[in-house]
Every structure is written in C-alpha cells, then in structure tokens.
Amino acid sequence: MTTTNGEVKDAPRTIRATVDELKTTFYDTPNLQAALEALHQDGFVVLKSIIDVNHIDQINSYMSKEADELVKNGTKPFNQGVNSNILQAPPLSHEEYLHNDVFFNPFVIQIMNAYLGYKPIWNFVTGNNALPKTHGLRQPIHKDITFNHPQCPFYVIANIPLCPFNVSTGSTEFWLGSHAHTSGADQIPATSESKLANAKLVVGDPTCDVKHNIVEERRRVRPPVQPVCEKGDVMLRDLRTWHAGMPNEGEDYRIMIALGYQAQWYPNHTLRSKLPLSRGNFFMNHGRQPLEVRADLLSDDSDFGKLNDIFNFRPTEGVTVVGATKGFDTISQVQTSSTLEMQSTTADPEESSTKIPKTQDFVVQTEAWAGGNSPDPNEKEVETANNEDANATQAGVQNIEAVSMTWTTWYLVIAYIGIFLIAFTTSFEGQVVASLGVFATSSFNNHSLISTVLVVQNVVNAVIKAPMAKYADVFGRLEAFSVSILLAVLGGVTMATSSNVQTFAAAQIFYAAGSTSLQILQQIFVADTTDLSNRALFSTLPQVPFMVTVWIGAPIADKILKNTTWRWGYGLWCIILPAVFLPLALSLFLNNRKAKRAGLTAASPLQGLGPISIIKTLWNDLDIGGMILLMAFFLSVQPYFYSYLLVVQDLSIPAAGHVTQVFSFTATISAVAVSFLIKYTKYCKPYIVTGALIYLMGIGLMYYYRQENSSIAQIIGTQIAVGIGGGMLNVPAQLAVQASVPSHQNVAVATAVYMTCVEMGGAVGSAIAGVIWGHDIPKKLAEYSTTLDSEAVYNSINNALAYPMGTLERMAINRAYQETMHKLLVVALCVSVPVVFLSLMIKNAKLDAGEDKVKGRVVGGTVEETRES
C-alpha cells in the first residue's frame, strides 16, 4: 500500500519472473518468498507473464464463440445467481487447446507445493465469463465456502484471465487480507429458504455471502481492490479470500479460467474434475509431477460445462477430524502434521481410522474413476484403475526432475562439461589398459587367462547396468555417479597392487562395475536432460573422445611399459577420475540443494525405516528379484584380435593398438553422423537396418581377409566396415528403446536393459572365445611343431613373440593363431545374421510424434513431464 495526497492506494502484489526463471520455469528464492508472503498476508498474488499469449488468445477465441451459443440458447449457468456472470468450462476435448503452461504451469505448481504442502491435488477446473455491457450488475461479496473451514491454507484457486483484466472489463473485486481474518461465523447463515446449487446447505450453516456489517468493518480497515492484469498473467487466490464478480462495461466477454488446488491433508475426497476420456493421458501424466491429478474421465460428448459447474469444497460427508470442534475452526495448526487421523462417524470402530497420505510421500495418484457424480444415470462412465505401484515415480527420478527445474543454462553446460571429462577419461583409460592386459596376465605367466579376465569383466559389465540404473532411480543420479567412481577407483587400486592373477581377475569385478556404471549413467543423464529429437546426437557425446583416444592410448601404454610397469597404467586413473568428476558432482549437488530448499526433492526412501524395513524396501524398489533373472545373449567379436595382430601380423604395440581401435573410431564417427540424420529425419529404423547389413558385411570381410598374407590395409578396411555398421546400430537402437517407454520413470531401466543385452553378448562371446582358444591353440601348437614349448607359448604372449618371423617355430605359432581366429570368426558371422532380421521387426516410429519423457530445462527446450507434439 502507498499513500498519495493522504489517500491509501492499495493493490495486489505482483511477481515478475526473471529471464533465467522464465528459461528454467522455476522461481528462485527471492520471488518464491515474495509470492508466499503475498499469499499468507493478502490471500492473493499476481504472477506476471508466465503463459504464452498465443495460447491465451487461442482459448479465448474458442470460449467466446461457445459463449455466443450459450447466451443464444439460454443455457448459460449463472454464477452466484447473477445474470451478468456465467460459469463456462474451458475446451477440454480438443488437443490443440491443451497447453501445459495453461493447465499445468510449472510456476503455479511450484508455489502450490510451497504454500499447500508437497503434491497438492488438482481437482477443479472451470471458467468464469463476465458478460459484456452489464452495467451495474455485480455479485454479492462472498467466499466460495459454505461450511466452517480451516484457519490455515487448504485450497487455492488459480484464475487465468484470457483478456485484459481491468475495471472497465469487469475485473473481480478482491478483499486483500480477508482470508486471514475470517471464519464461517462471518457468513450469512442458511435458512430453510436458502438455495445454492453447488452446495448441500443445512439450516444454520454459513452461506457464501459475507454479512453486511462484517463487510463494512473490513472496508474501514482495508477496502477492496480490482487488480489490473494482462494476458499471460495468473492470479492466485486463497479460497478463504472474499471477492465479488463485477460488471463488464466493455464490448467483449471477459473470460478467465479457474483451476483448483487442494492440500493433501484436507479430507475432501469427492471433488474431482470432469475430463474427457480421449485426453486422459494429457491430464493424468502430469500426476507424475509434484501434483496429484484427481479426476473422472468421461466420454467426450459429455457436457463438461455443466459437470464442472458442480463443485463442493467441504470435507467429505461423514468424516470428522479427531480433536476438532465445529468442523475445522480449532485446527489452524493441522497443516504442520505429517498425517491426519480421520474417523468415520458411520464406520465400524475397528475400521474407522484412515490416514491422509504423508506430505513427503512420493506416490503418483492419478485416479480416474467415475464416482456416481454424473447427473445422467445412463451416461457411460469409464473407470481407469489407480495403480500406485505401477505409476509411482521413485525418489531419484523426482530429484533429477527437480534439479532440471532449478538449474540455469550455465549449470547445465557445466554438467555436460563434467560428462565429457568423465567420458574422455574413461575412454583414454580404456585405450591404455586394453594394451596392458596381455602384459599384466603374462607377468603372472598366464597370458591365456586374458579370456577369463574378459569374461569376468564382460559379465560384470552386463549385470551391473540394470542394478545401477535402478539405484539411480531410487536414490538419485549424484549418489549413483559417486558410487560408480568409488567402485572404479577401488578396482584400479586393487589391480595396480595385485600380486597374482587371481587378485587381478577379482579386481575386475570392482573396476568393471565402476566403469560400466559410469557408461550407463552418462546415457541416463543424457536421457534426463534432452528431448527425443536431440537425444541421439547428445548420446554420442560419451563416444566422441574415442576419435582422439584411439590414436594416443596405445603409444601411452607403450611408454608406460618402457619407463615403468603396467601397474602404473592402472593406478594413475585412480587419481585422475575423481578429479574430472568434480564439475558434474558440483552441478548436481548445488542444484539438488537448491531444489531441496524449494521443497521439490523427495525424501530418502529409507528415511525412518528399521533394518528389516530397509531390506524389504531395497528388495522391492531395486527389483532385485527381477535383476537376478535378467539375461540376454548377443555374441561379440573375438577378444584375441590384439594378440593376433602382435603375433601373426608382427605389428608393434602402438600399431596393433591403433588397428584394434579403428573399429571404435569408425563407430564413433558413424554414430555421430547418424545422430545428426536422426535429429532432422526423426526416424531410427532405416539406420538400424542399414547398420545391421553393413555390420554383417564387415564380419564377412573379416573372415575373408583374416589370413597371414593379408595386407594391413585390408584388415583396417574390414574394421572400418564393422565400425560403420556398429555405429549405425547402437545409437538408433538405444533411442528406439527409450522412445518406447511410457514415462521418465522407465527410461533409466530401459536404457540399462538395452545396454545389458549388448554387454551380455560381450560376456558370452568372450567365454566362447576362451573355450575355443584354450582348446585349439595348445592342440595346434603341439601338432605343428615338436620343438615348441607349447605350454609356455600358450601362457605368455612374450614367449610367442620371442621367436623371429620366418622361423619354423614362429610359422607354427602363426598358423595355430590364424586357424583358431578363423573358427572364432565363423561363430561371430553366424550370430550376426539374425541381427538383420531382428532389425526389420523394430517399429518405425516418428520421434517427434510422441512424448518426451522429461521435464524442466533440457537440451531442445524447456518441457513438462510430457511434451505432446
């Protein structure tokens, strides 16, 4: 309030989002605090310019035409009995009018969570139309409450004006601060002649209208105001606030949409929005936000205008609150309770206690069933089951959604810098240690156990993905990344200090678990922070470092072997990896803290549980039983290619390393290229089929050219072909899997299942290769040379390399290696053929024709829980 010439000038408080807040669709602390202060002190606040004006104009045009029909046909439902103001539902059956920023505005949802408590209930939608040229006609001063109501916030109405809102157009009269100084005693009591269509009145109950003497007393303290709003603004009103519809002196309708939000603890279980069945997904999917959508889904030809005019905010009949007298007059502190015990006055005493959900419960409650509210008993009602277990969004998913709503572009860039640094480090590490493995096992005189090490590594690679993805869903992305870094460091330290091959192989469990978890978590993070159109491109980001590291990994490994031992090749990453994790960790930590302060994050699922309950919760939430049963088989190319190049082709360590990495380099280039194509064509299947064919051709060429007299150029050419095919297969297939899941809750696990199938192929391939290698090499060495110590050559690659090229011994060794390699490739060729047929069975869905399973600030724009195209 300001004073001018001795007069008090009052006006509602307004909140204008900053540029960054508009980008993140999330108020920072100062604006959030100001909005809450306005609601608590005035019972009213105006949120400026948070809705697209084009959406407002579109809906206003439709509702104006509909109003013409209502007025013409004489079917207009009057509001508060005044024939200048009609109730009119917004268009709910037409997809083109269903905009997220109108019906599920993230700024509004954020404030509702802070003002009413976590996960308020969206259970009311209607419209209010002040008819034009209605000079002098106004509503009485009233509240939308006909019962003794709580003395604390329990319900809020969000009014969305569809046109300029001012005195001349019939701006609603609001009595600021009246909500905090009122009770049912201030309202005119009902008599036997009182009538109100929207409430069940009992003689003596308060009607909506406020007593005249109470109004005049309030007027002397703080007179009413008529706010001035523009299109794109939203007015939030505490339900207890006095107000009155005013005459519209303009030429056009003055229409506004009204949305209702109820606190979880407040026991009204009957008020439900009436929504069209065909648009159920649009409305119900938003129940995965910090919001419960409570509605009846009815046939599309229902009269939603009339159905949504019937509303009643009173507590459910037959339910009282323990310890309360006269309804809610004495429970002003009830909102601070985590649970509210209720007893039915008609139920059996043994079954009379029911609990309202705790404010910290993170359960998706998207109920959609017809509860007998239809005025037409013959109207077909459709019941949609409320399956909380199936739809529940777990804490880790909710936390990353909260983070996505809070971070700025700068924080998102820092996070992606962290992702790239981790990807570069793990890629560089992989190239270095790939050249060191054979020397590590040979130092223990067990070169042939390289396949055993690879089997251990690949099995862990396969089985760890789904558990880590589920861990990230349950506990959070930051927690999962941290555990993965710890496992990788632990494995690296153990390998670097191992004194025998058994310890070295055992260390692979921790090392592979950590490094593979980082791979799946990077892909999950990309899925969390991109829309479908951009996801293929950004999912290749972790692969981009291969274009550099494939050429420098082997030379670095060679220098390590010449200047120190293979142990430092594993140990130095234990220092580097935690360091490069810091940018991502800080970005997630700081924004998670920011979201927590705003009340958006989920509590730990283990909070307040005892040991037995913790075990039970972990078993259920992590789906441990399902993970134990998870199994898929894809066979990989042989793990002895590097050894073959060193022995048969007589390449140096750097050269052999470079040839083996041609596949990775080409696959990365191919994946990036196909990601750009997917971004602009919006399809995956053509590239998957083409990739499968090229991959099969590449394996066939490998078989044809895998001879001792083949040139290096021919071998490299086969690797290029296989790499192109593999790159075209991997990213599109992963994207197709992600696009097929129903919600963000399922994206991480779907990604993990896909990557698990790929890794299981590596595990099975390594196991089969190890069996073939272990059976054929000793047998063939003994067959082709009687002078060789076949056991020594089999156990150490250094012993094989000790014989110069051209000697009888080396010729025998090369022949044994070559023939065994041919057998491995026959197996690989056989299992590559079904991939082509499987690729033809994939659905050719268009990516921008579905929904993005993400919300908040993401690459490709700011979206809600789902973004419908």
Hey, what are 34's tokens?
């100001």
User: What is the rounded (10 degree) CA torsion for 97, 102, 105, 107?
Assistant: 150
The C-alpha atoms of residue 472 and residue 481 are separated, in whole angstroms, by 8
* Mean pLDDT of the region 739-749: 55
Q: Do 270 and 156 touch, CB atoms closer than 8 A?
A: no
User: Above pLDDT 90, what percent of the chain?
Assistant: 17
Q: Give the lowest-confidence range in 252-256, 448-452, 806-810.
A: 448-452
Q: Are 48 and 235 in contact (CB under 8 A)?
A: no
Is the pLDDT score of 854 beyond 70? no
Cite the DSSP H helix spans in 266-322.
Answer: 280-284, 304-307
pLDDT band at 115 (very low <50, low <70, confident <90, very high): very high
List the alpha helices (DSSP H) in 167-318. 212-221, 280-284, 304-307
What mean pLDDT do residues 107-113 have? 94
Token pair in block for residue 195 = 């009538």
pLDDT at 93: 79
How much is the average pLDDT of 353-367?
32
Least confident of 361-375, 417-431, 517-531, 836-850: 361-375
| pLDDT single digits (tens) 649-661 | 888 878 887 888 7
What one-letter code names the amino acid at 171?
Answer: S
End-to-end CA distance of the chain: 45
Cα 281 to chain centroid, rounded: 17
**Residue 495 structure tokens:** 């390998």
* Region 421-445 average pLDDT: 82
Band of residue 135 on the pLDDT scale cut at 50, 70, 90: confident
Q: Which tens digits make up the pLDDT trace of 671-719?
A: 888 888 887 787 778 888 888 888 888 888 888 877 777 788 888 888 8
The predicted structure's pLDDT at residue 425? 92
Predicted TM-score of the model (pTM): 0.45
* Tokens matching residue 441: 């096992």
How confident is the model over 68-87, as a mean pLDDT? 63
Contact 798, 442 (CB under 8 A): yes
234 in Cβ contact with 154 (< 8 Å): no
- Structure-model confidence comparison of residues 794 and 111, the more confident one: 111
The per-type count for the chain, helices as H runs and strands as E runs, is 28, 22
- What pLDDT sits at residue 650? 81
Give the CB-side neighbour count of residue 276, counting CA atoms within 13 A: 17
Query: Average pLDDT in the 520-529 region?
Result: 84
As a whole number, mean pLDDT of residues 354-366 equals: 32
Nearest Cα to 692, choosing from 836, 548, 863?
Answer: 836
Of 136-140, 300-304, 493-497, 515-519, the one with minimum mean pLDDT is: 300-304
Q: State pLDDT tens for residues 303-342.
A: 776 666 556 777 765 544 333 334 333 333 333 332 222 2
Q: What integer is the mean pLDDT of 256-261? A: 93
Which residues are CB-neighbours of 624 under 8 A, at least 6 positions away? 467, 618
- In a 10 Å sphere around its CB, with 0-12 CB exposed, 13-18 middle and 19+ buried, how is residue 221 labelled? exposed
Lowest-confidence pick of 42-56, 87-101, 198-212, 553-567: 198-212
- Weakest mean pLDDT among 71-80, 237-246, 456-465: 71-80
Tell me the backbone φ, ψ of residue 269, rounded to 5 degrees.
Answer: -110, 5
State which CATH number among 3.40.50.300, 3.50.30.50, 1.20.1250.20, 1.25.40.10 fits the domain covering 399-628: 1.20.1250.20
What gap in Å lies between CA 122 and CA 142, rounded to an integer? Answer: 23
Q: Tell me: pLDDT of 454 over 70.
A: no
* Residue scoring higher pLDDT (174 or 827): 174
More confident residue, 26 or 336: 26
Structure tokens at 638: 């042989």
| Alpha carbons 602 and 631: distance in angstroms, whole number | 32
Residue 327's pLDDT is 39
The confidence score (pLDDT) of residue 195 equals 59
Average pLDDT, the chain: 75
pLDDT band for position 351 (cuts 50, 70, 90) = very low
Q: Strand pairing partners for 342?
A: 321, 354
Q: What is the pLDDT of residue 247?
A: 86
Percent of the chain that is helix, strand, coil (3-state, to 5): 55, 10, 35
Stretch 374-380: mean pLDDT: 37
Ranked by mean pLDDT, which of 298-307, 594-603, 781-790, 806-815 comes out on top? Answer: 806-815
Model confidence at 9, pLDDT cuts 50, 70, 90, reads low
3-class state of residue 605 by DSSP: coil
pLDDT at residue 14 greater than cutoff 90: yes
In 3D space, the residue among 136, 131, 126, 138 whose CA is nearest the CA of residue 70 turns out to be: 131
Give the per-residue pLDDT at 51: 95
- Give the pLDDT score at 747: 60
d(CA 694, CA 406): 44
Instruction: List the chain domain ranges.
Output: 14-308, 399-628
Rounded mean pLDDT of 371-383? Answer: 35
Other C-beta atoms lying within 10 Å of the C-beta of residue 686: 16
| 14-308 classified as CATH 2.60.120.620 | yes
Contact 448, 795 (CB under 8 A): yes
Query: DSSP character for 91?
Result: P
Single-letter amino acid code for the residue at 719: Q
Residue 847: the pLDDT is 64
Q: What is the pLDDT of residue 295?
A: 85
CB 304 within 8 A of CB 375: no
Any idea what DSSP says for residue 237?
E
Q: Cβ distance 17 to 31 under 8 Å?
A: yes
The pLDDT of residue 565 is 84
Low-confidence winner among 59-68, 190-199, 270-279 (lowest mean pLDDT): 190-199
375-379, 458-462, 820-824: which range is least confident on average? 375-379
Highest mean pLDDT among 42-51, 78-87, 116-125, 652-661: 42-51
Most confident of the ranges 270-284, 340-354, 387-401, 606-620:
270-284
Whose CA is closest to 648, among 813, 448, 809? Answer: 813
Q: Residue 254: is its pLDDT beyond 70?
A: yes
- Is 639:520 a contact under the CB 8 Å cutoff? no
Predicted confidence at residue 3, as pLDDT, reads 42
Give the pLDDT mean for 404-422.
Answer: 84
CA-derived radius of gyration, the chain:
34
Beta strands in 224-284 (DSSP E): 234-238, 243-244, 254-262, 273-276
For 161, phi then psi, to 5°, come to -70, 135
**What mean pLDDT comes out for the span 740-766?**
59
Spatial CA neighbour of 430 closest among 564, 541, 542, 525: 542
The pLDDT value recorded for residue 337 is: 30
